[in-house]
Amino acid sequence: MITATLVLGLLALLGMPLFAVIATGALWGFYQADIDLAVVAIEFYRIAEMPVLLAIPLFTFAGYLLSESQAPGRLVNLTQALIGWMPGGLALVSLAVCAFFTAFTGASGVTIIALGALLYPALRQADYAENYSLGLVTTSGSLGLLFAPSLPLILYGIVAQQLNIGPAISIDQLFLAGIFPGLLMLLLLGGWSCWKNRSIRQPLSEFSWKKVGIAIRQAIWELPLPFVVLGGIYSGYFAVSEAAAVTAAYVFLVEVVILREISWKKLPEVMHRSMVLVGGILIILGLSLASTNVMIDSGMPERLFNFVQQTVNSKLTFLLLLNLFLLCLGALLDIFSALVLVVPLILPVAVGYGIHPVHLGIIFLANMQIGYLTPPVGMNLFIASYRFERPITQLYRATWPFLVLLLICVALITYFPQLSMVLL
């Protein structure tokens, strides 16, 4: 058992694709338990039996379409016209736009690539320090993870629902729960940015309603999106998967048919790239259903539960340990694999300590968000290093103040459940 875990860990560290590592674990586990290995395929097939999953390809496609169009530019213009006059205005613009964008693209690195190219030069031109600008753009790449309809939020909901432990939760509850914690991150990072860059500000006279009007007119097609998604879901008019379908169709209509910013010729390529990401995530989900099933079959969650209950005696200590564990996990694993592999194990334990599954989800994702920035393997660090052609060590230096601020946020989110639960 321990040997097997070590071998799997080594395979993963040596760069075996995670889906293959998870599959190896599942195959090995069923083999040990003397169970027909066809069960792995039976579990994988459950992909076709989860109605909510439909939301994932549809939202991802919409996100990719948006990032390929000139929507990012229009959103930057609009936010710039609205809040650009504040001290550190452009920094605030970056934070806000990135958060909005990541919510739609699911923090898969698309934000840095699509928006970083736009914001980084602009920041530099406006006299923001190089390291600050780099750090901001890199951090922003995963900001907004807690806002609907981000993929990790949906995925957590799916995994938690499959487990069916503790109070029943729904994805729209998660969407609500993420709002305040997400805003807290924006507020803290924004406040610090304003203070740090208080010397950089455009004269107030730069603000004009006329400019705002023009920017609104330009972005008129994208503006209804949050209302379609959030309004539709929160009002109960749309199911999550329906909102995803409407979003995909709407974005397609706007960017391809009306504005024609994505040519018909380019469309297959956008579909292609978004579906490769979807395939990569869902194949991990499918095989992790099998590996989770091995664990459930052998009663592992109960054993872990008993072990933790005997060792850790207060909720506070448990939360502290949970944070440490998740931070390490986030430093090693990407968010999607971490979700599908670890949530089945820690959810029963956390519920045993009286933590609401929705709150756990927010804690989990907030920690994972930091994982995007932690050395040695934060994905955003690599993407930014590659995208802006800077050595990775410079990115470590550039991001650490942001990292500290996000850690404070995580602590607040963890120890003040009200932040997540107040809207439910």
Partner 1 sequence: TIKIATVAPEGSSWMQKMRAGAVEIKTRTAGRVLLKFYGGGVMGNEKSVFRKMRVGQLQGGAFTGGGLSKMVPDMMLYGLPLLTRSVGEMNYVRQQMDNQLIQRLDQSGYVCFGFASGGFANLMSQQPVASVEDLKGKKVWVPEGDTISYEVMEGLGVAPVTLPLSDVLTGLQTGLVDVVATSPLGALAFQWYTRVGYITDMPLVYITGALVVDKRTFSRLSADDQQIVHEVLGQIYHEIDQETTVDNEQALQTLLDQGLKLVPPADGEFSRWNKVATQVIDAVAERGTFPAALYDQARQHIKDYRQHQPLASAQ
Partner 2 sequence: MKMIVTWLSTGLRRLENTLLALLLTVMVILAVGQIVQRNLFDSGFVWTDEFLRILVLWLTVIGALVASRTDQHIRMDVLVRFVPERVQLPLRRIIFALTAAVCGTLAWHGYHFVRIEAEFGSVLLGQYPSWWFQSVIPVGFALISWRYILLMIDPPSADSAAQDLP
- Regarding 319 and contact with Na ion (CB under 5 A), the answer is no
Whole-number Cα distances in Å, 367 to 38, 364, 390, 406, 407: 35, 5, 26, 9, 8
Distance of CA 4 to the CA centre of its chain: 30
Exactly one of 334, 362, 368, 419 binds Na ion (CB under 5 A); that residue is: 334
Residues 159-178 binding partner 1 (CB under 8 A) are 161-165, 168, 170-173
In angstroms, give the least distance from the CB of 32 to partner 1: 13
Residues sharing a CB contact under 8 Å with residue 79, sequence separation 6 or more, in sequence order: 92, 93, 96, 97
Contact partner at residue 108 from Na ion, partner 2, partner 1, none, CB < 5 to 8 Å by partner kind: partner 2
The pair phi, psi for residue 390, each rounded to 5°, is -120, 150
- Regarding 379 and contact with Na ion (CB under 5 A), the answer is yes
Which two tokens mark 111?
Answer: 């934000």
Among 179, 157, 181, smallest CA distance to 169 is for 157
- The single-letter DSSP state of residue 253 is I
In angstroms, give the least distance from the CB of 329 to partner 2: 11
Contact partner at residue 161 from Na ion, partner 2, partner 1, none, CB < 5 to 8 Å by partner kind: partner 1
CB-nearer residue toward partner 2: 22 or 153: 22
The total of other beta-carbon atoms located within 10 Å of residue 214's CB is 14
Contact partner at residue 371 from partner 1, Na ion, partner 2, none, CB < 5 to 8 Å by partner kind: Na ion
CB-nearer residue toward partner 1: 42 or 253: 42
Exactly one of 75, 154, 331, 360 binds Na ion (CB under 5 A); that residue is: 331
Contact partner at residue 122 from partner 2, Na ion, partner 1, none, CB < 5 to 8 Å by partner kind: none
- Regarding 106 and contact with Na ion (CB under 5 A), the answer is no
Residues 38-77 binding partner 1 (CB under 8 A) are 38-39, 42-43, 45-46, 49-52
- Regarding 341 and contact with partner 1 (CB under 8 A), the answer is no
In angstroms, give the least distance from the CB of 26 to partner 1: 12
Angle at the Cα of 418 from the Cα atoms of 333 and 414, rounded to 5 degrees = 30
CB-nearer residue toward partner 1: 13 or 296: 296
Residues 265-324 binding partner 1 (CB under 8 A) are 293, 296-297
Contact partner at residue 24 from partner 2, Na ion, partner 1, none, CB < 5 to 8 Å by partner kind: partner 2
| Helix, strand, coil in percent for the chain, rounding step 5 | 75, 0, 25
Number of residues interacting with partner 1: please give it, by CB under 8 A: 34
Match 């959810």 to its residue by tokens. Answer: 347
d(CA 133, CA 91): 8
CB-nearer residue toward Na ion: 377 or 403: 377
Q: Which stretch binds partner 1 (CB under 8 A): 144-152, 238-246, 311-319, 371-379?
A: 238-246
Angle at the Cα of 110 from the Cα atoms of 107 and 114, rounded to 5 degrees = 135
CB-nearer residue toward partner 2: 45 or 195: 45
- The single-letter DSSP state of residue 255 is I
* Per-residue burial over 275-298, b = 16 or more CB atoms within 10 Å of its CB, e = otherwise: eebbeebbbbbbbbbbbbbbbeeb
Exactly one of 117, 200, 228, 239 binds partner 1 (CB under 8 A); that residue is: 239
- Regarding 408 and contact with partner 1 (CB under 8 A), the answer is no
- Regarding 255 and contact with partner 1 (CB under 8 A), the answer is no
In angstroms, give the least distance from the CB of 169 to partner 2: 21
d(CA 160, CA 264): 39
Which two tokens mark 133?
Answer: 């600008």
- Regarding 151 and contact with partner 1 (CB under 8 A), the answer is no
Which amino acid type is present at position 398?
Answer: A
d(CA 218, CA 70): 10
d(CA 131, CA 39): 51
CB-nearer residue toward partner 1: 112 or 233: 233
Match 């506070």 to its residue by tokens. Answer: 316
The total of other beta-carbon atoms located within 10 Å of residue 41's CB is 11
In angstroms, give the least distance from the CB of 378 to Na ion: 4
Which two tokens mark 319?
Answer: 């939360």
Residues sharing a CB contact under 8 Å with residue 2, sequence separation 6 or more, in sequence order: none
Contact partner at residue 389 from partner 2, partner 1, Na ion, none, CB < 5 to 8 Å by partner kind: none
**Where along the sequence are the contacts to Na ion (CB under 5 A)?**
331, 334, 371, 377-379
- Per CB under 8 A, residues contacting partner 1 are 30, 35-36, 38-39, 42-43, 45-46, 49-52, 161-165, 168, 170-173, 233, 236-242, 293, 296-297
